[in-house]
Amino acid sequence: MQARKRAESLQNIPVSGNVVSQQEINDFGGIVDDLQLGEYLVGVTVDEEGNAEYFIRGAGTGRNPQAASATNQLRNGAEVAGGFGGRAFERMDNFDVRQVEVYRGAQGSLYGRNAVGGVINTVNNEPDEKFMYRLVNSYDFHREEVRGDYILNQPITDTLYFRGGFSFENEEKGVFYNDFLDEPFSTTNFWGARVSLKGLHDGWDWMAMIDYGESGFSSYLSTRRASIDSSFTTCTGAVDVDGNPLPAQCQLPNGQNNPFLQGFDTPGYYFEHTFNALVRANFDLPFATLTSITNVRDRIYEFGFDQDLTFVGGRTGLMSAQCGVMSVATMMCARDDATETFMVSQEFRLVSPAENRIQWLVGTDARYLTNPTFTDNYGFIETPMSDTTNNTTWDVTQDQVAFGVYGSVGFDLLERLNVAFALRGSVERVSVLSIIRDSETLGSGPGPDLVIDDATWYHNVSPSATLTYDFDDFLVFASWAQAFRSGGYNRIYGDATLNMITFEVDPSFDEELANSYELGIKGETPFSGVFGEGNFRWAVNAYYVTYNGALRNVSIVFDDPEADPMDPDASDFAIGGLINGGDAYVQGIEADLGGAFRDPFDLGGRITWQGGVTYAESKYTSGLLEGRELDFVNPWTYQANITYRRSLPFFENTGLGLFFNTNFKYEIDTDNTRADDRQGTDTRKRWNARLGVEGENWGHGWQLQTFWNNVFDVDYERSRANFGTAELFNTFESRSSVGVRLSITGGDDY
């Protein structure tokens, strides 16, 4: 892995993390979405409430579409996160992957801005000297989903290699259904393609990789709310999807607490287009290796959705005061968004030879990002006496220019005692032009635009230090590191209320700073017993992180008396934003475990496994939320991936093999307390299984498997604030589904 920007074995370096290998990814059938990626990474929580995002050690709990992620995402070593909704990988990022690496803890000294919780690096397969092709086709019976991945690696000459691939998915049924329009929600259609070249020369080499992907669906589900258990709310005057009157007390949505049956009259849509181009070159110098990494990325989102979360005449699920009368929706309230994120990054670094007694590296990087976003809110109720402006357009462009210089040095104080230091200086300019327009035609009529046109320079120095002692059978280390999450701008300024206290919010928010302290021990132990013979790989880390100026979500209300001189308290605009909510800490223990053993229970074959257990607790120590826990911090998580392979019983001499794989991840008590005390706790449980036969016959390697996703059909319930008298939750877990998958690999190795 590249945790210290040089190729090293994770088990031999003082870094907390884990790696998902290519073999494991192939056994899974590939990684196709953000939630799935989180199932295989120890200590990483993934949330898809709005925009998908990764959380490590409590970093990143304050977020909105314009905010930076607190977990830096790299693809082949180049930063790809940023911009509206850009806090998770896209589909083509995880196509034809060699491995996925996660480095937990503050990594600011080498990786710069936004590596507060850690770094996730997806490494794609590069062209090589061997002819190879691979085909993967699968069908999910429940979703009626067809998916295919096709990869070709072909040497052109002795020093020039080609690798390319194509991927597609066509989903007909999906998981969620729109009862009102009688059609499924969010059935994915996707295609993407990649070409890459690699050249070898005397003293230097290069690699270029270009890909493009499109995905989308014509019926977009923006929320998955339902009543908890037997909780009811007022439904007087509302009807169900068939027009039948609902009882005075009913459940959400549509009179029943089934999150998989929603009813919207605005179908919505979602389309995403991503282009990525990477060029990397390595030069052998007499004293070091010089590496250059250039990356260009362009990502476009277009989506629209129903804002009242129901249909005209139905029980409203949100914004009842603006979309209906009392509990009944009388208007079609909707929203359209279009956004593009364009970024260019460049990095140069010099890395000392691996055999040097003193290990060092120096580097510099730069990134330019521009992100225009346009949002149109329409269909809300207008009245001559209305105080609230709801039909608005938000025209926001945010630009970022960032530069960094970094370096590290490590050397042996004693034969087994190593000390390492790293330091990074960062400069970042963030600018915004935000224009919020009032499109109301009644009441006071269109008011003046709310305009924010500003720019801020941020300067940061991020140091780190590590002390490592290498025993014969294990490694012990202690480390300290700092990191920062970029500051920026809200789309609005005004007043906000938090914990029953109203305060003024500025247009900008400051950086979020992290101080991380860690103790770790890791090793590998051979064993022999009833489980067979093999090795046990382990790593245990205890950490304590303080966050200064932790970012927090709030709803900001802008009051402009000029918009309505008759009512100086008129609320013209209300939009979510961020504040620096105070200081906080997160502390915990992480255990990464794994290994392999042969002939378990005298059954023959081999078992490989990796997993982990984490514990964490958090708290705000100052500010309006003092004493509360941070969002998205799991007190407990359990995760494992286990694979068993052996020759097929009764066919031992045919080259056929039996394959079984299962993976699970439990995230317990995700949010003990959030901003609203009425919200309860959350638990996510996911367990998948795969069973099949495989072999190497007729010049090919192949595997035919059945897969069973969400074996125990467990819903992931994220608690939400009460709506009326009903307690609500969002479900993010797909229902149990079964399918078949066939993969065929051929080429020089078969």
Which SS3 state, helix, strand or coil, does residue 319 take? coil
Handedness of CA 54, 58, 62, 67 (dihedral sign): negative
Using CA atoms, how far apart are residues 127 and 197, in angstroms rounded to an integer?
A: 6
Q: Which helix (H) or strand (E) holds 123?
A: strand 118-124
Radius of gyration over every alpha carbon of the chain, rounded to an integer in angstroms: 27
Can you say whether the dihedral through the CA atoms of 714, 145, 96, 21 is positive or negative?
A: positive
Nearest to 434 by CA among 384, 507, 385, 351: 507
- In this predicted structure, the answer to whether residue 326 has a pLDDT above a threshold of 80 is no
In this prediction, residue 670 has a pLDDT band, given cuts at 50, 70 and 90, of low
Task: Pick the closest to residue 591 from 635, 633, 538 (CA basis).
Answer: 538
Read off the pLDDT band of 569 (50, 70, 90): very low
Residue 55 pLDDT > 70, yes or no?
yes
Instruction: Dump pLDDT digits (tens) for 444-480.
Output: 545 567 889 999 999 999 999 999 999 988 999 999 9
pLDDT value of position 603: 86
Residue, of 383 and 575, whose pLDDT is higher: 575
For the residues 348-374, what does the mean pLDDT come to? 93
What contacts 14, CB < 8 A, 6 or more positions away?
A: 420, 466, 468, 475, 477, 479, 520
Closest CA to 542 of 57, 50, 31: 57
CB 292 within 8 A of CB 217: no
Mean pLDDT of the chain: 87
Cβ–Cβ under 8 Å, residues 293 and 311: no
All structural domains of the chain with their residue ranges: 10-354+369-432+479-747
**Where does 3-130 have alpha helices with state H?**
22-28, 34-38, 108-111
530 or 586, which is more confident: 586
pLDDT digits (tens, 9 = 90+) for 86-126: 788 999 999 999 999 999 999 888 888 888 999 999 999 99
Mean pLDDT of 529-540: 88
Is the per-residue pLDDT at 703 higher than 50? yes
- What is the CATH number that goes with domain 10-354+369-432+479-747? 2.40.170.20
**The 3-state secondary structure of 517-575, one letter per residue:** EEEEEEEEEEEEECCEEEEEEEEEEEEEEEEECCEEEEEEEEECHHHCCCCCCCEEEEE
pLDDT at 664: 92
Q: Which among 149, 223, 106 has a CA at the least distance from the CA of 745?
A: 149
Q: Name the most confidently modeled range: 21-25, 55-59, 207-211, 644-648.
A: 207-211
- Cα end-to-end distance, the chain, whole Å: 28
What's the predicted TM-score (pTM) here? 0.92
The continuous run of DSSP H or E covering 70 comes out as none
Question: At 151, is the pLDDT very low, low, confident or very high (cuts 50, 70, 90)?
Answer: very high
Distance (Å, whole) CA 250 – CA 231: 8
Q: 127-148 burial, b for 16+ CB within 10 Å, e for fewer?
A: beeeebebbbebebebbbbebe
pLDDT per residue as tens digits for the range 592-631: 999 999 988 888 899 999 999 999 999 999 998 898 888 7
Residue 342's SS3 state is strand
pLDDT (0 to 100) of residue 679? 41
CA atoms within 13 A on the CB side of 328: 15
- How far is Cα 564 from Cα 550, in angstroms, rounded to an integer? 36
| 588 Cβ contact list (under 8 Å, min separation 6) | 57, 542, 543, 614, 615, 616, 617
Q: Which pLDDT band, with edges at 50, 70 and 90, does 716 fall under?
A: low
**pLDDT per residue over 216-275, tens digit each?**
988 888 877 787 777 888 888 899 999 999 998 888 888 887 888 888 999 999 999 999
